Amino acid sequence: MKTNIDVTDAKVYPVKDSKNKIRAYAHIVLNEALRLSGLKVIEGENGLFVGYPSEKGQDGKYHSLFNPITRESRNIIQDVVLENYERAIAAVL
């Protein structure tokens, strides 16, 4: 499957003095057509990664609202969001 995904805009909002593992919130625009909000930059055991929004279902479990289907699209989104996160952090230092 060929991925024709292009992140045409990304905004990242670092969290100041976060007491949890969330380092920033973000939204992106894909192919100048679809805006995805509620992404999170999270500090994990192996470094930073992008988390996707979810909501708690009636079964008490959390279910994703949206997420990439292919590894390639996940990597594209993660690379852009983390690159913008690093720029946002550098701008406040």
Find the helix or strand (DSSP H, E) in which 72 lies.
helix 71-92
Q: What pLDDT is stored for residue 66 in this prediction?
A: 93
Q: What pLDDT is stored for residue 4 in this prediction?
A: 84
Q: If we measure between CA atoms, which residue out of 92, 88, 67 comes closest to residue 78? A: 67
Domain annotation for the chain: domains and CATH numbers = 7-92 (3.30.1120.40)
Q: How far apart are CA 21 and CA 33, in angstroms?
A: 30
Of 16-20, 29-33, 82-86, which range is least confident? 16-20
**What's this model's pTM, rounded to 2 decimal places?**
0.89
pLDDT of 19 > 90? The answer is no
Residues 6+ apart with CB under 8 A from 61: none
pLDDT of 9 > 90? The answer is yes
Q: What pLDDT is stored for residue 2 in this prediction?
A: 64
Tell me the per-residue pLDDT of 38-91, one tens digit each, with 9 for 90 and over.
999 999 999 999 999 999 999 999 999 999 999 999 999 999 999 999 999 998
